[in-house]
């Protein structure tokens, strides 16, 4: 029996490292209890979480705005509160989870996500059936009667009760997602060989990115199904009809069941896989990864000194700031990408869902897997410096793809400035009609008298709204906007995202190789707090506010304003391009500084290794100037109280 097998047996004596729960540990499922089985389960976890929380929920935004009369700022707030709860709990979960049972922390968190998905679907059962307005109804036409129609009109007043339920579901989902990109990565990293870290984490990240893409594809197909499955009697609407409301809730409900199952499976994993501890100690002994910081033990009093070590680490700080600039852009544009494809390129709900799904799926898979190859052949001790270099150059190249947003799409909807003065249209529902190239809110606003025909043609409409090109007949629906280039945009945006995903894995390598081994979870968690507090949290609300300013037609009735019906798309594109250029320029500067300090760290380390101003003191520690480092495992361990490390070296501002 070799030394490694003896170590494994000693570990198994202290703790049962087989897969299962308490006394139930079936032999037929022990194939899960290895690094590959762990990767499969965690990847499934990332797919389900991304598919439901970041896929179904985002794809549902246009439908929620229509049914519950929300504007872009309010739906942006829904995305932000998710980040608030995630931010508050990430710092706690990532720190205490580093010293606790990671699978149990992860499984319990995913259980909360399942409950949040059930809660997200609840308003559908509370609000009742959706009744679309009839195209041919006496209330939709011009009337000289001055009596108000508001008593007979459905109110579009904003309902706080439903909005609070959506907010609460997002808060719980954000809290449950706290360990997804901190504890999951750290648990995976500590149970595999350091030589395979890049490819394993790349596969896990791909699963997380594939989740939203699958969610958008499935969500787009679900939105092609009527919200109540069966349409009301007398209606035969299609998804292209402006009155259509897609099924936004059933995906979350089914996803909740799958989430509960995945959480149950993850909680069956042991604290560490068999042979993982011996493998980790061997890597530390060979100085392939940083050693543990022995002065951090998981107590609450250790949070402040642990945080101080990280914020004084220039490699870690500038890497975090570079990704922060990317997060602001992604969090700002991401929730409205589905809407952008629909309003600016005229895509149907199904095509927009499939399009977003393919964009995220292809770009994240290709970008992340290719990015994991950068520096994969590099010596582990140089991995931090090489990965930092790739982050800088990849960001520099990707910046120029921002101009892809200049690809022309649809023309703006032409809406009249004034309504027919002789018609009392207050309380009329939004059923647009087209007169040549002018779109009216309803037949009433176009001055059309009551029609008896059930066709989609309106006749004898008032000439007060006509132009020199007036047609004798008006058609139901929005006027043709000359939409084009939707497929060109989808291809271009896929290339843009692929370039941005290329530096994801190099960035994670920089983070995990620039901090002590037992601070990896906390370092990743602290990054997430920064990105969410200063990026994901404010970005959707800010971008949503700017998008609402581009609205040229609001849903209005009886003095109440609802959701936006049409946008000035040129203004929306201008906001995206200008903000993208500024944020990507900041990312380039931060990545350049990260690379500089990583190179400086490597140079200082080489001087030390080649017999620089260092000496071995009698107490068994290595001294470099005024700093002393204790020895661990028979090798020099450069992780002290005030030291900053990158691949076992000291770096200071």
Average pLDDT (323-347) is 84
- Judge residue 418's burial from the number of C-beta atoms within 10 Å of its C-beta, 0-12 exposed, 13-18 middle, 19 or more buried: exposed
Average pLDDT (311-335) is 87
Using pLDDT thresholds of 50, 70 and 90, give the confidence band for residue 119: very high
| Pairwise CA distance, residues 250 & 221, whole Å | 12
| Pairwise CA distance, residues 588 & 51, whole Å | 31
In tens, the pLDDT along 541-600 reads 888 888 888 888 888 766 677 778 888 888 888 888 888 889 999 999 999 998 888 877
Which has more confidence, 107 or 355?
A: 107
| Pairwise CA distance, residues 289 & 383, whole Å | 10
Maximum alpha-carbon separation in the chain: 103
pLDDT at 365 (0 to 100): 81
| Pairwise CA distance, residues 79 & 53, whole Å | 10
| Pairwise CA distance, residues 415 & 481, whole Å | 12
Which has more confidence, 247 or 186?
A: 247
| Pairwise CA distance, residues 415 & 418, whole Å | 9
pLDDT at 293 (0 to 100): 55
| Pairwise CA distance, residues 233 & 247, whole Å | 18
pLDDT at 375 (0 to 100): 55
**366-404: b or e for each residue (b if 16 or more CB lie within 10 Å)?**
bbbbebbebbbebebbebbbbbbbbbbbbbeebbebbeb
pLDDT at 648 (0 to 100): 37
Using pLDDT thresholds of 50, 70 and 90, give the confidence band for residue 36: confident
Residue 470 has pLDDT above 70, yes or no: no
pLDDT at 643 (0 to 100): 38
In tens, the pLDDT along 77-88 reads 887 788 788 777
SS3 content of the chain, % helix, strand, coil (to 5): 60, 5, 35
For every residue of 571-595, DSSP letters joined together read: HHHHHHHHHHHHHHHHHHHHHHHHH
Q: Express as a percent the part of the chain with pLDDT over 70.
A: 76
Beta-bridge mates of residue 473: 459
The counts of H helices and E strands in the chain are 21, 11
In tens, the pLDDT along 204-245 reads 888 887 888 888 888 888 888 898 888 888 788 888 777 888
With CA atoms as reference, report the closest residue to 522 among 188, 294, 186: 186
The answer to whether 211 and 49 have CB atoms below 8 angstroms apart is yes
- Judge residue 554's burial from the number of C-beta atoms within 10 Å of its C-beta, 0-12 exposed, 13-18 middle, 19 or more buried: middle
pTM above 0.75, yes or no: no
The domains found in the chain, sorted by start residue, are: 30-144+158-279 (1.20.1250.20), 313-406+484-605 (1.20.1250.20), 414-480 (no CATH)
| CA R_g for the chain | 29
CA dihedral 441, 442, 447, 450 (to 10 degrees): -170
pLDDT at 379 (0 to 100): 55
Using pLDDT thresholds of 50, 70 and 90, give the confidence band for residue 287: low
Which has more confidence, 567 or 610?
A: 567
Helix (H) or strand (E) holding 619: none
| Pairwise CA distance, residues 191 & 183, whole Å | 12
| Pairwise CA distance, residues 320 & 508, whole Å | 10
State the chain's mean pLDDT as an integer.
76
Using pLDDT thresholds of 50, 70 and 90, give the confidence band for residue 467: low
pLDDT at 214 (0 to 100): 87
| Pairwise CA distance, residues 364 & 499, whole Å | 9
pLDDT at 649 (0 to 100): 36
In tens, the pLDDT along 495-529 reads 888 888 888 888 888 887 777 766 777 787 788 78
DSSP helix/strand/coil, 635: strand
Which has more confidence, 347 or 1?
A: 347
With CA atoms as reference, report the closest residue to 94 among 528, 520, 522: 522
The answer to whether 47 and 207 have CB atoms below 8 angstroms apart is yes
Flag the least confident range among 175-179, 272-276, 375-379. 375-379
DSSP helix/strand/coil, 246: strand
For every residue of 31-75, DSSP letters joined together read: GGSSHHHHHHHHHHHHHHHHHIIIIIHHHTHHHHHHHHT--HHHH
Beta-bridge mates of residue 631: 636
- Number of Cβ within 10 Å of residue 505's Cβ equals 29
What contacts 338, CB < 8 A, 6 or more positions away?
Answer: 58, 59, 61, 62, 216, 352, 353, 356
In tens, the pLDDT along 401-414 reads 888 888 888 888 88
What contacts 523, CB < 8 A, 6 or more positions away?
Answer: 310, 316, 511, 512, 515
pLDDT at 408 (0 to 100): 87
pLDDT at 156 (0 to 100): 54
């Amino acid at each position: 029996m070799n030394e490694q097998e003896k170590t494994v047996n000693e570990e198994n004596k202290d703790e049962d490292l087989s897969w299962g729960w308490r006394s139930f540990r079936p032999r037929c499922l022990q194939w899960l209890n290895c690094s590959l089985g762990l990767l499969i389960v965690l990847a499934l976890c990332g797919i389900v979480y991304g598919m439901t929380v970041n896929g179904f929920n985002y794809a549902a935004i246009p439908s929620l705005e229509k049914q519950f009369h929300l504007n872009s700022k309010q739906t942006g707030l829904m995305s932000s509160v998710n980040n608030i709860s995630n931010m508050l709990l990430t710092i706690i979960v990532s720190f205490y989870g580093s010293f606790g049972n990671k699978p149990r922390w992860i499984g319990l968190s995913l259980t909360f996500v399942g409950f949040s998905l059930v809660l997200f679907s609840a308003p559908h059962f509370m609000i009742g059936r959706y009744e679309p307005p009839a195209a041919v109804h006496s209330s939709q036409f011009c009337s000289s009667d001055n009596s108000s129609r508001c008593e007979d009109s459905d109110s579009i007043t904003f309902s706080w009760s439903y909005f609070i339920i959506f907010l609460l579901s997002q808060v719980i989902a954000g809290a449950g997602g706290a360990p997804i990109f901190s504890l999951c990565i750290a648990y995976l990293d500590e149970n595999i060989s350091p030589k395979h870290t890049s490819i394993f984490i790349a596969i896990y990240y791909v699963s997380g990115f594939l989740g939203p893409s699958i969610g958008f594809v499935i969500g787009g197909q679900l939105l092609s199904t009527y919200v109540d499955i069966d349409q009301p009697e007398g209606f035969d609407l299609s998804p292209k009809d402006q009155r259509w409301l897609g099924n936004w809730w059933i995906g979350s409900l089914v996803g909740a069941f799958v989430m509960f199952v995945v959480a149950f499976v993850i909680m069956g994993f042991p604290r560490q896989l068999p042979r993982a501890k011996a493998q980790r100690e061997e890597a530390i002994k060979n100085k392939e990864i940083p050693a543990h910081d022995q002065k951090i033990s998981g107590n609450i009093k250790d949070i402040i000194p642990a945080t101080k070590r990280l914020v004084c680490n220039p490699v870690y700080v500038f890497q975090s700031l570079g990704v922060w600039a990317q997060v602001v852009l992604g969090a700002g544009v991401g929730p409205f990408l589905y809407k952008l494809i629909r309003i600016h390129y005229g895509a149907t709900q199904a095509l927009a869902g499939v399009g977003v799904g393919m964009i995220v799926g292809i770009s994240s898979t290709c970008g992340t897997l290719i990015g994991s190859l950068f520096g994969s052949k590099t010596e582990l001790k140089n991995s931090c410096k090489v990965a930092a270099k790739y982050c800088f150059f990849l960001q520099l190249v990707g910046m120029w793809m921002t101009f892809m947003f200049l690809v022309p799409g649809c023309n703006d909807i032409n809406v009249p400035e004034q309504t027919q003065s002789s018609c009392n249209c207050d309380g009329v529902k939004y059923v647009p009609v087209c007169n040549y190239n002018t779109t009216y809110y309803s037949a009433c606003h176009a001055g059309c008298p009551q029609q008896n025909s059930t066709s989609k043609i309106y006749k004898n409409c008032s000439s007060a709204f006509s132009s020199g090109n007036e047609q004798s007949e008006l058609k139901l629906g929005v006027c043709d906007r000359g939409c084009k280039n939707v497929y060109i945009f989808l291809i271009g945006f896929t290339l843009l995202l692929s370039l941005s995903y290329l530096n994801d894995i190099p960035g994670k390598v920089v983070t995990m190789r620039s901090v002590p081994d037992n601070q990896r979870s906390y370092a990743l968690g602290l990054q997430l707090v920064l990105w969410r507090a200063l990026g994901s949290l404010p970005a959707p609300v800010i971008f949503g506010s700017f998008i609402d300013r581009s609205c040229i037609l609001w849903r209005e009735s009886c003095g109440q304003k609802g959701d936006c019906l049409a946008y000035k798309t040129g203004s929306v594109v201008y906001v995206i391009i200008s903000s993208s250029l500024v944020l990507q320029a900041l990312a380039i500067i931060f990545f350049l500084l990260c690379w500089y300090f990583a190179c400086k760290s490597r140079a200082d380390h080489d001087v030390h290794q080649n017999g620089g101003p260092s000496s071995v003191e009698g107490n068994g520690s290595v001294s470099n100037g005024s700093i002393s480092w204790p020895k661990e495992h028979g090798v020099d361990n450069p992780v002290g109280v005030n030291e900053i490390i990158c691949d076992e070296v000291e770096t200071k501002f």
